[in-house]
Structures are given as structure tokens and as C-alpha cells.
């Protein structure tokens, strides 16, 4: 058989029967495939079994890979507006993870990144967020300009960073008093924030953020009380405004005078302030230690006259807080 096929092949070559040669080659390939298939069957081998479960698994794996690709593309799309460079992402990570850098070194590195990426809003947001965690009093001059940025989100992030920058430094905590050079920086922060607060075009969201941090950043009782009087003149209080009033009352700021003003408000507004007083006492019972017995009595008499309204959705919880506050003020 093999000899006859070979002779035919030679003959075809000699006579240049190309078509016959092609047919013979195809036949030989088919014979080889049949032989291979029989061998596989004898060995019970299935090279690529495609069952339903395998198909589902492959499909799911492909979906996961596709999702990762899409997520990566989305991050890069956000981090690379208008084709901007995103090397700052890696640089932030290096600064974060470098254990050999102290707080000041990390702030210095982030400030350099901030200067290099001032036109990249996404980069500025991330850098300001990182600076905030470091209480960056050393970077105040670089942060202050962002209070005037047209993007209110950057204004809010700048306010958060400046609020943390106003906190006592580790050195001041050890010394148990503030340092003159740091107080000068804090006063500068207040001046810029007051200017932002008084600006008519400042958004309501930014104004609320200012109220939220003002008790922290204000450098004098006069500034804190001025903000309180401004809030007390309003016909309604936002949650952070009610908390601001509560915080200052617990810090001895003209308790009698401010309670008289509050008594002229409707019960709903008084409730909001009292709830915040109660919450602050519940979270920090020691806060009452700074009040005199007479000041506690003034707060007690006022709060006792304004019990929670029974029609409130959260009456049970508010009533419990109210009772606890009265008990704490009597101790």
C-alpha cells in the first residue's frame, strides 16, 4: 500500500499532476487525523473538555478581567483630565509609604507636588487630602490660595486642611502652651477664612463648612462669639450651626445672655441645640468640668423647661438624652 502510494506520488511529480498530488496530500492528512483520534479515544484523553460549568467559569473570569480593565481606565480617565500627566499618583504613594520620612519631610514632598500640579484639579484634591492628615501648619501659605479657587470642592478641602493645621503641634502639647510663631500662622488662617465667610459669592456649602470648623480655628473668644451671634439671628439652624451653639455654651461663652436669646426661638430650634448639648455631654462627660456650678444651674433650668416633643420621630432616644443631661448637670 505504502509502496503503491509512493510510486504514484513519484509518477505525479514526473508528469506534474499537481491536482492529484494535492488530493493525495489531503488524504494523507485525513488518515493522520483519524489515527490520532483513535489514539486519543484509547487513552481516554480529552484535551479541552468544554462543559457548561467550565464555560460559565471562563465567562465569569473574562467578566472580572474586563471589569478590572474598565476600572483602571476610569481611574486613569479621572486622574488624567485633558491628557495631563498622572505621575503624581505614584509620587503620593511613595511619600505615604516611605517610613524613613518624618511628618515635616512628607509635608515638604506634598507641597512640591502641589506646586507642580496646581492646574490639575484631581491632583490638588488628592494632595490636599493627604496634607490634611498631617496637620500641615508648615504648608499654610501654599494652602491658603485655594480658598479663592472657583471649585467649591477645593475650597472645602482647603478649609479642612487649614482646620487641622490650626491644631496644637506635638511640641506645643509637650510644652503645654502655644508657640508665638504658630499663633501668628493661626491668626493668618482666621483672617483668610473670615474674608471667605464675608464674601457674598461664597456658596452655602462652603459657609456651612466654615461654621463646622470655626470653633477650632478661631483664635479669640470675640471671634467665636461673633459667629454665634450671627447664627442666633437666623430664623432656623442647620445641624452644624446648632452644634456650634451647643459647643460654645458648654465652653462658658456668655451662657446667660445666649440662653435668653434661645428662649425667644421656637421649641424646634431650642430642641436642636439641646440635643447637641446632650450628645456632646454623652460623648465627653468631662466637658462639664469647665463649667461652674452657677453655669450648670443656668443650663439645667433652661433645658428642664424644654422637654422633647412627643410627636418627634425619635422621641424615645431624645427623651433619654434629655434626662441624662439633666442628671449630669445636677452632679
pLDDT, tens only, 112-130: 999 999 999 999 999 999 9
pLDDT value of residue 86: 79
Given this model, what pLDDT does residue 329 score?
94
The mean per-residue pLDDT over the stretch 178-197 comes to 96
pLDDT (0 to 100) of residue 24: 52
Query: Which domain covers residue 18, as residue numbers?
Result: 1-43
Q: Average pLDDT for residues 61-73, to the nearest whole number?
A: 45
Q: Are 230 and 198 in contact (CB under 8 A)?
A: no
* Rounded CA separation 39/97 (Å): 58
What's residue 316's pLDDT?
85
Residue of higher predicted confidence among 38 and 164 = 164
End-to-end CA distance of the chain: 114
**Mean pLDDT score, 262-272:** 93
* 301 belongs to a structural domain: no
DSSP type of residue 254: S
Task: Tell me: do 107 and 163 sit in the same domain.
Answer: yes
pLDDT level of residue 298 (50, 70, 90 thresholds): very high
Asked if 28 and 136 sit in the same domain, the reply is: no
Cell of 108: 515638604
Clarify whether residues 129 and 191 are in a common domain.
yes
With H, G, I as helix, E, B as strand and everything else as coil, classify residue 296. Answer: helix
The per-residue pLDDT for 300 is 96
Task: Say what percent of the chain tops pLDDT 70.
Answer: 73
* Predicted confidence (pLDDT) at residue 180 exceeds the cutoff of 80: yes
- Please indicate, yes or no, whether residues 196 and 108 belong to a single structural domain of this protein: yes
Q: Do 180 and 80 sit in the same domain of this protein?
A: yes
Residue 113's nearest CA partner among 137, 74, 85 is: 85
Nearest Cα neighbor of 273 from 284, 263, 285, 288 is 263
State the DSSP string of 201-223: TS-HHHHHHHHHHHHHH--SHHH
Give residue 65's pLDDT: 38
The answer as to whether 210 is a domain residue is yes
Counted domains in the chain: 2
Q: Is the pTM of this model over 0.75?
A: no
Kindly tell me the burial class for residue 189, based on how many C-beta atoms sit within 10 Å of its own C-beta (0-12, 13-18, 19 or more): buried
For the CA atoms of 290, 161, 221, 276, the dihedral, rounded to the nearest 10 degrees, stands at -50
* Number of Cα atoms under 13 Å in the Cβ half of residue 126: 18
CB 162 within 8 Å of CB 217: yes
pLDDT of the residue at 87: 86
Q: Is residue 10 part of a domain?
A: yes
Is residue 258 a part of any domain in this protein? no
pLDDT at position 134 over 90: yes
| 52 or 194, higher pLDDT | 194
* Average of per-residue pLDDT across 188-201: 96
Asked if residue 110 and residue 10 are part of one domain, the reply reads no
Domain end (from 193, 219, 245):
219
For residues 32 and 159, state if they share a domain.
Answer: no
Query: Has residue 80 got a pLDDT over 50?
Result: yes
Among 171, 197, 219, give the residue marking a domain's end: 219
* pLDDT recorded at residue 9: 46
Average pLDDT, the chain: 81
Report yes or no on 225 lying in a domain: no
Which region among 23-27, 44-48, 200-204 has the lowest average model confidence (pLDDT)?
44-48
Task: State whether 116 and 193 are in the same domain.
Answer: yes
Q: Domain ends where: 184, 201, 219?
A: 219
pLDDT at 81 over 90: no
Percent of the chain with pLDDT over 90: 64
Q: Is residue 185 part of a domain?
A: yes
pLDDT at 13: 46
Task: Confirm whether 69 is domain-assigned.
Answer: no
Same domain, 115 and 182: yes
Same-domain check for residues 7 and 114: no
Whether residue 117 is found in the same domain as residue 38: no
Q: Where are the alpha helices (DSSP H) in the chain?
A: 2-15, 18-43, 52-79, 87-97, 103-116, 121-132, 140-143, 152-165, 170-175, 180-198, 204-217, 221-232, 239-249, 255-263, 267-283, 293-304, 315-330
For residue 262, count CB atoms less than 10 angstroms from its CB and return exposed for 0-12, middle for 13-18, buried for 19 or more: middle
Same domain, 78 and 213: yes
The answer to the question of residue 268 being in a domain is no
Residue in the block written with cell 490650626: 166
Residue bearing the bigger pLDDT, 252 or 290:
290
Amino acid at each position: 500500500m505504502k509502496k503503491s502510494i509512493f510510486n504514484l506520488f513519484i509518477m505525479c511529480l514526473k508528469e506534474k499532476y499537481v491536482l492529484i498530488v494535492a488530493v493525495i496530500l489531503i488524504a494523507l492528512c485525513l488518515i493522520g487525523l483519524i489515527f490520532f483520534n483513535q489514539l486519543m479515544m484509547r487513552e481516554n484523553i480529552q484535551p479541552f473538555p468544554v462543559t457548561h460549568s467550565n464555560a460559565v467559569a471562563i465567562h465569569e473570569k473574562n467578566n472580572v478581567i474586563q471589569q478590572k480593565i474598565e476600572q483602571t481606565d476610569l481611574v486613569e480617565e479621572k486622574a488624567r483630565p485633558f491628557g495631563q500627566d498622572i505621575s503624581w499618583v505614584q509620587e503620593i504613594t511613595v511619600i505615604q509609604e516611605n517610613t524613613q520620612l518624618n511628618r515635616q519631610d512628607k509635608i515638604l514632598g506634598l507641597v512640591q507636588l502641589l506646586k507642580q500640579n496646581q492646574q490639575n484639579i484631581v491632583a490638588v484634591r488628592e494632595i490636599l487630602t493627604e496634607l490634611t492628615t498631617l496637620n500641615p501648619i508648615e504648608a499654610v501659605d501654599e494652602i491658603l490660595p485655594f480658598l479663592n479657587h472657583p471649585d467649591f470642592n477645593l475650597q472645602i478641602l482647603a478649609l479642612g486642611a487649614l482646620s487641622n493645621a490650626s491644631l496644637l503641634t506635638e511640641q506645643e502639647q509637650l510644652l503645654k502652651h502655644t508657640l508665638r510663631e504658630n499663633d501668628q500662622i493661626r491668626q493668618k488662617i482666621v483672617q483668610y477664612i473670615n474674608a471667605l465667610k464675608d464674601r457674598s459669592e461664597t456658596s452655602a456649602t462652603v459657609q456651612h463648612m466654615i461654621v463646622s470648623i470655626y470653633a477650632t480655628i478661631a483664635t479669640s473668644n470675640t471671634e467665636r462669639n461673633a459667629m454665634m451671634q450671627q447664627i442666633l439671628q437666623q430664623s432656623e439652624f442647620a445641624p452644624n450651626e446648632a452644634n456650634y451653639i451647643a459647643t460654645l455654651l458648654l465652653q462658658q461663652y456668655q451662657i446667660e445672655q445666649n440662653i435668653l436669646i434661645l428662649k425667644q426661638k421656637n421649641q424646634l430650634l431650642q430642641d436642636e441645640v439641646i440635643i447637641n448639648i446632650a450628645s456632646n455631654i454623652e460623648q465627653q462627660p468631662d466637658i462639664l468640668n469647665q463649667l461652674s456650678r452657677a453655669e450648670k444651674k443656668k443650663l439645667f433650668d433652661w433645658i428642664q423647661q424644654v422637654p422633647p416633643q412627643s410627636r418627634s420621630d425619635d422621641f424615645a432616644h431624645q427623651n433619654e438624652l434629655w434626662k441624662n443631661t439633666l442628671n449630669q448637670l445636677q452632679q
